[in-house]
Structure 1
């Protein structure tokens, strides 16, 4: 995201913003704590939620164009036809996903009336799936291939028939009092969108995964996301990726 951030702020030609990554492998809550205190951190990239938008200033331009909300299930290798005959939401709800206990995706699934098996160890979830502790593990299209390759030694496979969708929004967040930076980020994102440079950069990083999903012509299971604030610009269809066409 540093490259996008640098590009977006380059439109503010009257200012001299300098981009410096803060660090890797730091918990997201720690990033937000530093952001709240203005302690060496100015911008955090994260998923939107009612709580985050209450505590911090969100720049309402979905940087991932909703990609995190398009999810392909990992299933057991001997159960790859699990969703072959699942065509309705009611039949989908009869199957049990596994999720990490603190993920917002867990709350989204439960809000749609889906019973979720929760784990407290991320790596352990793959083992739980392999052993049949739950039916499937939904992963975003940005993760599913690498998750499968990293766990090929287990009894898991990528399910070939469906894709699960619910709206998600990943934004740049700034300190609640940093309206100037928020305005510059939004203006830069909108300018990059209009001149085509945002989409060019987006497709450089995510085009391969998007085209791969489009080529498979999966059936969509549509869910709702009540965790998204009403400020989410869902009405601007040009800002979101659709994988059903």
Structure 2
């Protein structure tokens, strides 16, 4: 079964939005995966984006977490064939999109693909020597089991060890890996959440590894109407300014950008070969310039 692509043109989105206003809509019951502790800031932004999208087309909804904690693989499987959840936001990847309803508008304007590194505080001098991708190849990164980012880094020639998400912080602190690349909006929130358990960690201060990536909304296979309304609403939220107002004021985004000094970092750019054709065709207006 082919994936359904939901990146509406302005005219198409306006048509769905008009329909949503003119005809009563039964409230959508949205269920998303329960996540691991410590990801509250990331969840709060995604839910705020969802709310802006649904309000932009006057679509009523209720929302709740699933009973079970679900990592990415299980959540995508539930969207494809189960009923425990009907919405998830996760990294864009051609293989993950197959058979699902996918809204091709990035949640964070591409900031998940702006990767900064969690390192031990006393390792900054090692990273001061890195000037290029070839220099970075002498160090070992950590990434999560089954993450598309693992493949992206390995395809660029970087050394990567994999483990569970929570374990990677301890592996960085203990020196078992040299650095843990994270999206810029993720890194600072995660560092703040783990100051007590991993006090020796810091965000490396001069490098930026960049590739085209972000989170998309994935909607359950049997929930096409929800996907249509959410896609129309997300496009409408861009047009009416509510999304950009959220992006420009939400602490999850703005605290990270204020601390990251992106313009002052040495850029190392690599390809993401795991994008779908629809991912590659997302208009520039939805990405940070």
Give the TM-score, by structure 1 length: 0.85
Match of 1:139 in 2: 182
Equivalent position to 1:114, from 142, 147, 158: 158
Which has the larger displacement, 142-151 or 53-62?
142-151
CA contact (8 A) 2:210 2:270 kept: yes
Alpha-carbon deviation of 1:158?
2.1
CA contact (8 A) 2:88 2:217 kept: yes
Match of 1:173 in 2: 218
Secondary structure of 1:36's aligned partner: helix
Secondary structure of 2:275's aligned partner: coil
Alpha-carbon deviation of 1:216?
6.5
Q: Which runs of 5+ in 2 are unaligned?
A: 1-45
Give the TM-score, by structure 2 length: 0.73
Alpha-carbon distance change, 101 to 230 in structure 1, aligned in 2, over 3 angstroms? same
Matched ranges for 1:78-157 at <5 A: 78-119=122-163, 121-149=164-192, 150-151=194-195, 153-157=198-202
Equivalent position to 2:54, from 9, 30, 35: 9
Secondary structure of 1:81's aligned partner: helix
Cα deviation 1:91-114 (Å, max 9, x = unaligned): 222221122232221111111111
**2:283 corresponds to 1:236:** yes
Alpha-carbon distance change, 211 to 117 in structure 1, aligned in 2, over 3 angstroms? same
CA contact (8 A) 1:162 1:221 kept: yes
Alpha-carbon deviation of 1:24?
7.1
Higher strand share: 2
CA contact (8 A) 1:81 1:159 kept: no
Cα deviation 1:131-153 (Å, max 9, x = unaligned): 32222111222232243341465
Match of 1:193 in 2: 238
Alpha-carbon distance change, 103 to 196 in structure 1, aligned in 2, over 3 angstroms? same
CA contact (8 A) 1:2 1:19 kept: no
Match of 1:39 in 2: 83
Higher helix share: 2
Alpha-carbon distance change, 232 to 42 in structure 1, aligned in 2, over 3 angstroms? same
Partners of 1:39 and 1:25 in 2: how far apart?
13
Between Structure 1 and Structure 2, how many residues are aligned?
239
